[in-house]
Amino acid sequence: MNKLRDIRTLSAALGYLLACLVTGPAVGAVLVVDSLLDDSMANLAGNDTCELREAVRNINAGSALHEDCPAGNGVDDEILLSIAGTIVLVGAAEENAAASGDLDLLEDVVIRNSSDGEVTIDGGGNDRIFGGSVFNPIDWSIEGGEHGIVLQNGVGGFAGGCIESVRDSTLTLDSVTVTGCEVGFDGAGLNTGGDTLIINSVFSNNLQTEGNNGGGGIKAFAGTLEIRDSVIAGNEGFRGGGVQVAQEANLILDNSLVTDNHARESGGGVDLYFPENPSEIRNGSRIEGNSAVVEGGGVAMLGNYTVLSELLVEHSDIGRLDGANQTEGQGGGLAAIGGKIVLGEGTQVVGNQADGSGGGISMRGDAEIEVRRTVLAQNHASRGGGIYLYQTNGLIEDSLLVGNLADGSGGGLSFQVDKGETLTVQRTIWRTNQAAVYAGEFTSGGGGAIHVDGFGSGQLDVSESEFSGNQVLGDSSSYYGGAIRPAHDVSIRNSTFSGNSAPNGGAVGWNNGPNNIIVNNATFYANASTNDQGAQIGSAGTIGSLQVTNSILVFAAQGQHCYPDTHTGIQVDQTNVKWQGGNCDQAVEGDPMLGPLADNGGTGPGAPDVGYPQTHAIIDENSAALDNPLTVDCEPADQRGVLRNDVCDQGAYEAVEFIVDEVFKDRFESN
Ligand SMILES: [Ca+2]
Ligand SMILES: [Ca+2]
Ligand SMILES: [Ca+2]
Ligand SMILES: [Ca+2]
């Protein structure tokens, strides 16, 4: 029996191959639509023109069900729209055989504009335009070609206002505009449940109406949604004003613009809702001018606690100075609860606004963030002007935070610890960020660049970074830390504090603890206490300690170097050098002879556009900080990553090049 079946199978296969040799493999039918008419099936029949509805039904049937059109093959069929103009679909909705209302697609099909102008398919405000059946997932595409296809004015009931692509279908939209569509729950322009490519296309002014679900422009609930070279603009939804990507779906946004969309809850531009697979925003994409009421003006991610939800942003902009994303709640540019956000090379988060916390970025709820080679500039919030982190572990490196503003604490960043979270900051520039602490909401606080607070435990480690021109505004005796207002466990190594100011503690200051703060090989230069309470370091804290070693304190621009000097918590021992300022009496008096704040190089990649975190170089061989024998346990390399020599210099800069230059001068210069 088996042998007989094998022979039958073999002969059937041979017969098929022979048939292919004679006739070629099955070729899809090409159905040319040469009419813009839509009407009842009876009225379309026998008029000698092939209407779109007849063509779709022939393809669904795989036959010449309607004699005005060629027969459908059922495999690889193609519809050519040969007449430019507008087709308005008519007939009752809630019908699923393409006989009225929406065109229900049950077989694979390519719909292409072959006319000499734009073709518009209008849903008539009656039903969606293209639908399908969950029992018939299909591979399909709409190709507008040179002149484009517009899908407009569809109304989709629950899901898919203009287009519904059912689970496990694949869909390509190329050169298609989807506009003015409306839906109750999911995807006003498009609701899709399979791999979807949107290229050279526009989704504009679509509306998702109900107080649940979302996707003003597009909702993807399964498969990869790739949006390339496209524009998503002016759409509105509950979650995801522009795009909502949920659970089994993931997003790739490539060289696309998401702008002027609005969410009545979260994710004005994009909402990632418990995504189980990583998403990417990349390659020149811009998310700007979007808004959300609750959180994530530009992007929101509600993370999954069991599967790591992850978003990577690279070479893309979230916000711009004249195109802020904004929210009445948290995370003007980007908000995440849970999950992991990675901001990579070439990301800019600029000009975003949150009435709550996190002007640029807000993260909380067992979340994780990595920021690399990123610029965060001129974002504004009540707390954490650039970044707000709560119950979040983080890494920030080779980045630039400039001109961010908090009405409360943490102009650059607010780090709220709770359960032992860690934040590592390295090779990063913090410049001209401001905390404008105001009485009322926050009775104490500060941190022009970084504010650490919270009732639990946590650790902040800062190294190889520049803090310059950061400020805590106001005059309260409770406002501390022009650069850093630490709490809990903080280490500061190989960093430069220059020209920062606060009422108390111009560079570093705090007013409550518990603290365990270690500062090693730092340079404090020309910081100011506007209340004369510690130009460089100030404290009213009574718990914990701040230990400063191997550091330089020079030029107390206003106030004494340390305040109060006798506080047991502040320990600035003889391994430090001080100049042009009082207090810090254990430090040894001497002129370190420093140059101005300048980019003196580095060994890392440097921050985008501005290079390396700046340093004050030791510029004279008579510097009191040069090869200082009192130093103990210096950092092995300096702020720039340059290895220190045998006897380390105090401060963040090791004068290795200076010494080489001097040797060169002595040996070879004739005069
Ligand atoms: Ca006809
Ligand atoms: Ca239908
Ligand atoms: Ca229908
Ligand atoms: Ca040295």
Query: What does pTM read for this prediction?
Result: 0.93
Ligand 2 centroid–CA 128 distance in Å is 8
Residues within 5 Å of ion ligand 3 by Cβ?
95, 101-102, 104
Query: Residue 655: nearest ligand to its CA?
Result: 4
Ligand 4 centroid–CA 643 distance in Å is 10
Ligand 4 centroid–CA 614 distance in Å is 19
Ligand 3 centroid–CA 129 distance in Å is 8
Burial bucket for residue 46 (CB in 10 Å: 0-12, 13-18, 19+) = exposed
Q: How many beta carbons lie within 10 A of that of residue 137, not counting itself?
A: 17
Single-letter residue type at 216:
G
Q: ∠ CA(408), CA(412), CA(414), 5° rounding? A: 60
Ligand 4 centroid–CA 477 distance in Å is 39
What residues of the chain score a pLDDT lower than 50? 1-22, 659-671
Per-residue pLDDT, 16: 45
Burial bucket for residue 25 (CB in 10 Å: 0-12, 13-18, 19+) = exposed
Ligand 2 centroid–CA 99 distance in Å is 9
Per-residue pLDDT, 668: 42
Ligand 3 centroid–CA 90 distance in Å is 9
Ligand 4 centroid–CA 635 distance in Å is 12
Per-residue pLDDT, 568: 60
Per-residue pLDDT, 10: 47
Return the structure tokens found at 10: 């073999």
Ligand 2 centroid–CA 102 distance in Å is 5
Q: How far is CA 287 from its chain centroid?
A: 9
Per-residue pLDDT, 662: 47
Per-residue pLDDT, 581: 96
Beta strand pairing status for 615-618 and 594-598? antiparallel
Q: Are 435 and 406 in contact (CB under 8 A)?
A: yes
Contacts of 376 (CB under 8 A, 6+ apart): 348, 349, 350, 360, 361, 386, 387, 399, 400, 401, 402, 404, 412
Return the structure tokens found at 49: 């023109």
Q: Are 410 and 447 in contact (CB under 8 A)?
A: yes
Single-letter residue type at 154:
G
* pLDDT tens sequence across 62-88: 999 999 999 999 889 999 999 999 999
Per-residue pLDDT, 487: 85
Compute the residue count for the chain: 671
Residue 535 to residue 499: CA distance in whole angstroms: 10
Ligand 1 centroid–CA 175 distance in Å is 27
Query: Residue 56: nearest ligand to its CA?
Result: 3
Ligand 3 centroid–CA 141 distance in Å is 18
C-alpha distance from residue 345 to each of 299, 386, 394, 607 (Å): 18, 18, 16, 10
